[in-house]
Structure 1
Amino acid sequence: MLSQIKEALSNLENKKLKEKYMQIIITMFEKGYFPGLENIPVAKSSVSNIDGENGLLTFRGYPIQELANNCSYEDVCFLLLKGDLPIPQEKKELKKQLLASKGIDSKIKETIISMNDNLHPMYMLSSSVLQLQSNDPKCFDLDQYTVNLNRAIQLIAKLPTIMGVYQTQNPEFAQGKTFDSFAQYILYCFNQELAAKPKWVNILDKLLILHGDHTMNNSTFSVRAVGSSKASIYASISSAINSLSGPLHGGANEKVIKMLTEIGAPENVESYIQEQLKAGEKIMGLGHRVYRTYDPRALYLKEEILPQIFAEDSPEVNSKLENLYNTAQKMEEIALNKFADKKIFPNIDFWSGLVLRAMKIEPKYFTTIFALGRIMGWCAHWVENLEVKNKIFRPNQLYDGFNTRHVLRDQLK
């Protein structure tokens, strides 16, 4: 049968597609199923694309580096949701709509403030998103594209406010304030001092863009899977936030900073790597399921963002932060020497935590920043999934349990 399948695939002119299908078929023959659905197409989408061999990530066809260099949060939000970059008037209107929609109900604010400090901020965020549904009784009316789009924009606008209320424990923390951009408002929710400095607003703007979307990752799959049941946008996005919280997904940037702190200094990196390899443990921030070269988002942070932060005249950089950066640079150097031939390179989580620490943001909030960027992509996928012929996600399984057996009454006595 395998030879017949190979013959059928020989008619495919696309070499990469042919290799991809062949690998899927081989996996099916070897294992009988697809662990983690690796490489299995589950949807058609025009939101973003990855060329893992060449390290290329595009949003609606635009390379991520060009978007980070030339665009704002509003530009990329419009692009992901509506399919193309906005003209100046459209950008102005979207910024106005985002800033006008950022308010949340006072009762929800009270609930946010009352949440236990021991609850990780990602779970606070996911539960708060679900609460927003209480003020949207028509959220299950999903048949109109424009209504779905506006609902997505309003939800995007409210996520920073949830974080700002929780961070400050003040329901009116931004009362009477005006903002030049949505990125400035997001930074204000975490660091009011830096939000007044254009350099840092610009850096956060670029960081959010880099996180905007990343094809069918685990959290985006969650959005589309939950949304396929015609659940509300709040349930869909809440599930994505919970997915992103995991250390194998968005939570990795928090783990990277913890790792660099534990290493302590550049001279300790070599021994740390050896110990991790000997113990068979994962080194956080290295490697990616899709990229077989340097993650383009990580490369942008390394080459464009971090040099701005760690310039000689930067007042925000103290000796502790400088040491973390030097330790990360040493780890990258050793990792590239050891693992580049195995196509293992630093990913975005390896460098993003350093950017956030420079903004004086605590590690437990790192993944929430990730979510404030990724919400653009999640919502774009949610809207897109409603526009195609929706079919509820219902994958199959291979049963690996007992054959049919029966209850014996005597054994229950």
Structure 2
Amino acid sequence: MSTIELAEAALKRILQDEDRLHAYAWLDEATVLAEARRLDHEHLRGPLSGHTVAIKDIFDTVDMPTACGSPIYAGRRPARDAAAVAAIRAAGGLVVGKSVTTEFAHLTPGPTRNPHNPTHTPGGSSSGSAATVAAGGASMATGTQTAGSIIRPAAFCGVVGYKPSFAMISRSGLSLFSETLDTIGGFARTVSDVALFVGVMAGRSDLMTPVSPQAPRLAVWATPDADNAEPCVVVELERVADVAASAGAAVQTLPDAAGWQALLEAQKVIMAWEGTRALAFERQVHPELLSGPLRAYLDAAALTSPETYLEALHTRQTLGAALSAAMQPFDAILTLSAQGEAPLAETGTGDPQFNRVWTLLGGPALHLPTATGPRGLPIGVQLVGNPGNDHRLLGTAAWLEAALS
């Protein structure tokens, strides 16, 4: 089909669900059709031709507002595209709208609901991105992760979510919360599609087609926080490990690595310290336009001492290096993505405790949807690798996806 036909079909699909899902912060038919005409007129064909893409509303877009989920920036029109968005357009991807983010990609939820049950959360902060991909509104969507904002929404909505190694994708044109942690990634419905998408944004052709190992080496580790998880996800982790072993993978249990709780706390300290500085202007000039929870978080974070912050950075370096060394012999760590099925929307966007440490380490992480839980909502597993091992992790994820299917 032509890109115009693709645009019309995508808009029809999105609008069928939008009153129920509220996945988009900005959606304009004329803008999408104009972009489709441009792609057709310029005969632009690339790796993302035929794909529709939703852009999380913290990425600058020259033809669409970027409000960052905040009334402070309602209607703000950037003068340029973020680097990741420019790469998507250059590769032939059709941008269909701005997906809902929590306020400044942090605490306060937006209006988006889970496509599988609208009384439940889609997760956060990349709420709209995960929801629209799950509902078929877009085939791909951008996301960011500071704690668990890609992996957790992917788990709750039942799609593939990928957080690549830190700084693999340029953050130019992105509203930052944490210089040390914020990482751009994406959502799709298959491992091959998410690899293609992230590879395009990163300018890494070597990642666009995952190469599966013949017999991957997997370490199963539910982490010391497993007692806080619902039984269904722990059982599913064990089932997936058994399937992998039966399909030929070398599977073993990773002994509990020392320092997990210290790394967990270090991530929280770094995120708080850097977040209150990133939003210094908004907190000082427009405090009345910040939500109560975010304002309280920033006020508390401002009390963190420089010594506490520097100690957290030191913990990240030392204990993180020890955990990375324990992971080195394996193609991937097989672990939990979230505490369980998506909780009710009224309780928030869920706890990112099973994602924080992996984000702190800066390596790649991928959620693979594998089953449904007792309430009929999606569950799955997380695969984690060491920084720079993206090609290895994506290949292992593609192998496991095929083994499970």
User: Would you say same fold, with TM above 0.5?
Assistant: no
TM-score by length of 2: 0.26
TM-score by length of 1: 0.26
Structure with the larger strand share = 2
Query: Higher helix fraction: Structure 1 or Structure 2?
Result: 1
Structure of greater relative contact order (alpha carbons < 8 Å, 6+ residues apart): 1
Larger radius of gyration: 1
